[in-house]
């Protein structure tokens, strides 16, 4: 089996269409991910990896930041105003001399940084040393179209020696990123938002047999999140909230290990063995969740051959696809679907509707759009139901909009998206054996195995 980082890089190549779950994105090597972004220049990504840092919705380019309307003056958008009015975070937040030296550099040569030369229109959002021996300073302009820049160096680097390595529009009220190169390599996760919001974390969730996830939450005393990627707990999630209102919540990948060898034979013989796709999916799942060890059992819910049409050539032909679930001692667990092409070694894709959490795998109902290498998403919806199911109906407001027979619980149908439906599978006697909602995810990502929340 090829190195996990290579497999995850291949999955990350799908970034031109979707954020392809934490399993793929967070572990991908920064260099290849940057190339994928430059090649496609699409804006549907939620995470774009930069040199040394990962910003939410932040792009970059060569040379230095360009200007444009709203970069030098005007009032910032309301969605980011609270963040710009917040105090500096980080271990250097109280070092006024250091922060002043950073701002002096910008004011003395504003064109090199793409920021205003007026000190009153500059905000240091973060300044500090981070795990892995990094120093990071984030500065933004208080303008109608605010630019955010990333200045980095090794821990202890003077303000005059920090390097400008990335920049982009400040469009969100949360800065969410990481620096990570591979399994076991030192790096960090960083997340902060507007002042006045509480930050809490949850790890070691219980995936129950009824399909629910049981979590306990604890406050993060610093008011922002910093974690060492070499010591991440299983199933970490972070939440930013004020009272009962959640501003932001997402999974933080655990940077785990490979799943080990997984039996490629699908449960109940649904489909056919697809060992390449099975192992890639299992490794991505284990890597992102930390679910490894003798108490975790990986099972193939469905796998098959998979036709690949790669407009760039190379990988077209008969590839493989697999939906793999990590079954935990409580009976449930997360799952992911990954397709691999014919390249040697293969590249891989997934689709955000092909991930989630199930309870008992015997009762799982998979409803998803299929991964694809083309720009246009096919109309196909894949169904994988319990083997007793012989028919599936897709309903909107109680009315059937599509239906298809199932063989051993498996079938496909074509229905143009986006859709938001109820999916119901029936046995030969007409009894419902499984039911779940389905909604297309075409712009925003699924947010990992549990849904992400973006409250703006």
Is 70 exceeded by the pLDDT of residue 54? Answer: no
Is 70 exceeded by the pLDDT of residue 46? Answer: no
Q: Which residue has the higher pLDDT, 327 or 12?
A: 327
pLDDT attached to residue 246: 96
Q: For the segment 89-102, what is each residue's pLDDT rounded down to a tens digit?
A: 999 999 999 999 99
Yes or no: say if 182 and 27 are a contact pair by the CB < 8 Å rule: yes
- With H, G, I as helix, E, B as strand and everything else as coil, classify residue 113: helix
Banded pLDDT at 70 (limits 50, 70, 90): very high
How far apart are the two ends of the chain, measured CA to CA in Å? 42
Banded pLDDT at 16 (limits 50, 70, 90): very low
pTM comes to: 0.80
Q: What is the DSSP string of 415-437?
A: --S--EEEEEEE-TTS-EEEEEE
pLDDT attached to residue 1: 34
Tell me which residue has tokens 């190195």.
Answer: 3
Most confident of 26-40, 82-96, 371-385: 82-96
Is 50 exceeded by the pLDDT of residue 23? Answer: no
- The sign one gets for the Cα dihedral 111, 116, 117, 122 is negative
Banded pLDDT at 14 (limits 50, 70, 90): very low
pLDDT attached to residue 442: 55
Mean pLDDT over the full length of the chain: 85
Is 70 exceeded by the pLDDT of residue 447? Answer: no
Q: For the segment 137-159, what is each residue's pLDDT rounded down to a tens digit?
A: 999 999 999 999 999 999 999 99
pLDDT attached to residue 182: 59
Q: Which residue has the higher pLDDT, 42 or 237?
A: 237
Least-confidence region, from 135-139, 247-251, 254-258, 327-331 = 254-258
Rounded distance between C-alpha atoms, residue 336 and residue 354, angstroms: 6
pLDDT attached to residue 39: 25
pLDDT attached to residue 254: 77
Is 60 exceeded by the pLDDT of residue 36? Answer: no
Q: For the segment 403-439, what is each residue's pLDDT rounded down to a tens digit?
A: 999 999 999 999 998 999 999 999 999 999 999 999 9
In DSSP terms, which residues pair with 126 in a beta bridge? 89, 138
pLDDT attached to residue 98: 98
Q: Which residue has the higher pLDDT, 204 or 27?
A: 204
Looking at the chain, the whole-number percentage of residues with pLDDT higher than 90 is 71
Q: For the segment 96-132, what is each residue's pLDDT rounded down to a tens digit?
A: 999 999 999 999 999 999 999 999 999 999 999 999 8
Banded pLDDT at 41 (limits 50, 70, 90): very low
Residue 194 burial (CB count, 10 A)? 18
Q: For the segment 191-214, what is each residue's pLDDT rounded down to a tens digit?
A: 999 999 999 999 999 999 999 999
As a whole number, mean pLDDT of residues 155-176 equals 96
pLDDT attached to residue 148: 97
Is 90 exceeded by the pLDDT of residue 4? Answer: no
Q: Helix 275-289 and helix 4-12: axis angle, to 10°? A: 90
What b/e sequence results for 340-371 when a residue is b if at least 16 CB atoms lie within 10 Å of its CB, and e otherwise?
bbbbeebbbbbbbbbbbbbbebeebbbbbbbb
Most confident of 37-46, 82-91, 220-229: 82-91
Instruction: Please state whether 68 falls in left (phi above 0), alpha (psi between -120 and 50) or beta.
Output: left
Least-confidence region, from 5-19, 34-48, 233-247, 295-309 = 34-48
Q: For the segment 264-308, what is each residue's pLDDT rounded down to a tens digit?
A: 999 999 999 999 999 999 999 998 898 999 999 999 999 999 999
Q: For the segment 304-347, what is each residue's pLDDT rounded down to a tens digit?
A: 999 998 888 778 899 999 999 999 999 999 999 999 999 888 89
């Amino acid at each position: 089996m090829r190195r996990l980082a290579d497999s995850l890089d291949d999955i990350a190549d799908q970034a031109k269409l979707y954020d392809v779950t934490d399993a793929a994105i967070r572990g991908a090597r920064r260099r290849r991910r940057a190339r994928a972004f430059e090649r496609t220049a699409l804006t549907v990504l939620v995470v774009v990896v930069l040199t040394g840092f990962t910003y939410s919705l932040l792009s970059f380019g060569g040379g230095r930041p360009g200007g444009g309307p709203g970069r030098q003056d005007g009032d910032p958008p309301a969605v980011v105003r609270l963040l710009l009015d917040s105090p500096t975070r980080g271990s250097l937040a109280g070092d006024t001399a250091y922060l002043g030296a950073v701002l002096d550099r910008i004011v003395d040569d504003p064109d090199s940084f793409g920021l205003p030369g007026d000190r009153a229109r500059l905000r240091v959002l973060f300044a500090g040393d981070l795990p892995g021996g990094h120093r990071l300073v984030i500065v933004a302009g208080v303008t109608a179209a605010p630019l955010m820049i990333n200045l980095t160096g090794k821990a202890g680097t003077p303000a005059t020696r920090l390097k400008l390595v990335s920049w982009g529009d400040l469009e969100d009220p949360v800065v969410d990123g990481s620096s990570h190169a591979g399994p076991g390599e030192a790096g960090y996760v960083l997340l902060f938002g507007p002042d006045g919001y509480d930050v809490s974390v949850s790890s070691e969730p219980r995936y129950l047999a009824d399909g629910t996830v049981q979590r306990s939450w604890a406050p993060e005393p610093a008011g922002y999140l910093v974690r060492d990627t070499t010591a991440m707990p299983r199933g970490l999630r972070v939440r930013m909230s004020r009272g009962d209102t959640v501003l932001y919540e997402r999974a933080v990948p655990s940077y785990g290990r490979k799943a080990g060898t997984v039996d490629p034979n699908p449960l109940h013989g649904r489909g056919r063995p697809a060992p390449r796709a099975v192992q890639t999916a299992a490794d991505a799942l284990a890597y992102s969740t930390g679910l490894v060890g003798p108490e975790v059992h990986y099972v193939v819910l469905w796998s098959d051959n998979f036709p690949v049409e790669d407009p760039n050539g190379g990988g077209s032909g008969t590839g493989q696809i697999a939906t793999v679930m990590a079954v935990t001692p409580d009976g449930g667990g997360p799952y992911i679907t990954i397709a691999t092409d014919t390249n040697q070694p293969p590249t891989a894709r997934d689709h955000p509707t092909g991930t989630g959490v199930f309870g008992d795998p015997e009762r799982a109902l998979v409803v998803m759009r299929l991964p694809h290498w083309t720009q246009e998403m096919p109309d196909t919806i894949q169904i994988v139901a319990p083997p007793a199911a012989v028919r599936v109906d897709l309903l909107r407001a109680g009315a059937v909009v599509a239906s298809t027979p199932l063989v051993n619980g498996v079938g496909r149908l074509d229905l143009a998206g986006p859709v938001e439906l109820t999916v119901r599978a029936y046995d030969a006697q007409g009894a419902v054996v499984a039911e779940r909602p389905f909604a297309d995810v075409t712009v925003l990502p699924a947010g990992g195995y549990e849904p992400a929340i973006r409250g703006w």
